Every structure is written in C-alpha cells, then in structure tokens.
Amino acid sequence: MEKGKIKEFKIPISLILLAISLFVSTIIVVYWFSLAILPTSFSSFISYTGNWVYYIFALSIVGDGYFIYLFFSTINARRKFEELMNTDSKAAFVKNIRDLEIEARKLGPSFKKRLNDKKEQLKIKF
C-alpha cells in the first residue's frame, strides 16, 4: 500500500467508527434508564463490564465528537481543494499553491498527484 493511502479513506472510516461509537453510547444510555427494548445479550454484556461501563461511555462520547470532527474536516478539505483546483488562471493558481499543497497533504497521494498534474499542465516549476 502506498504511503498515506489510508488518508483517502478517512470519510468511510470515520463514518463506520462514528456508527460504532454512537451504537455503544446509545446501548449504554438505554441500559442506564432500564428501558425494556434492550436485548438481554447487550444488557448481560454491559453488566459484565461492571464499573468499566462509565469509562466505555466516556470513551464513546469522546469518539462521537472526534469522528464527527474528522468527517466534517475532511469534507471541508476536499471542498477547498476542489475549489482551488478548478481555476484556469495561472496567477490565481500560483497565489493559492501553498493552500493546495497543505490540503493535498491532508487528503492523500491521489490529491498530490492531481496537484502535480495541474502544475505540469500550467507549466509551473516549484
């Protein structure tokens, strides 16, 4: 696997981990309020964890926040990259080249390749 290739899968990874984290926090809240909709396998697992359930809940809440942040920051980085890449003006491209390099580094190797291709297309040497 190419170095940094995992960066290109940030969106699906963050969504999967967000779903898991939300599931865990929801199950724990349902268990605490003793709602009857919780299957016995989940309630027996939560009771088996004992006092660790508080730490698991805190970790899932932190995970919820982090994965939501990761998802939206990646979406915003992609949007900014696309906006800056869609210019045909060489002057505007050179003006924004630093921001493009930062966003391409955050997003992964395919975005770096697209940036280098655009540099070659506009005949920019850096």
**pLDDT bracket for residue 13 (50, 70, 90):** very high
What pLDDT sits at residue 44?
A: 80
* Per-residue pLDDT tens over the stretch 52-88: 888 999 999 999 999 999 999 999 999 999 999 998 8
Tokens of 40: 């016995």
**pLDDT bracket for residue 35 (50, 70, 90):** low
Q: Provide the percentage of residues in the chain whose pLDDT is more than 70.
A: 95
As a whole number of Å, the CA-based R_g of the chain is 22
| Dist. CA 126–CA 124, nearest whole Å | 7
Q: Beta-carbon neighbour count of residue 100 at 10 Å?
A: 22
Task: Name the nearest CA neighbour of 115 among 126, 124, 104.
Answer: 104
What pLDDT sits at residue 3?
A: 67
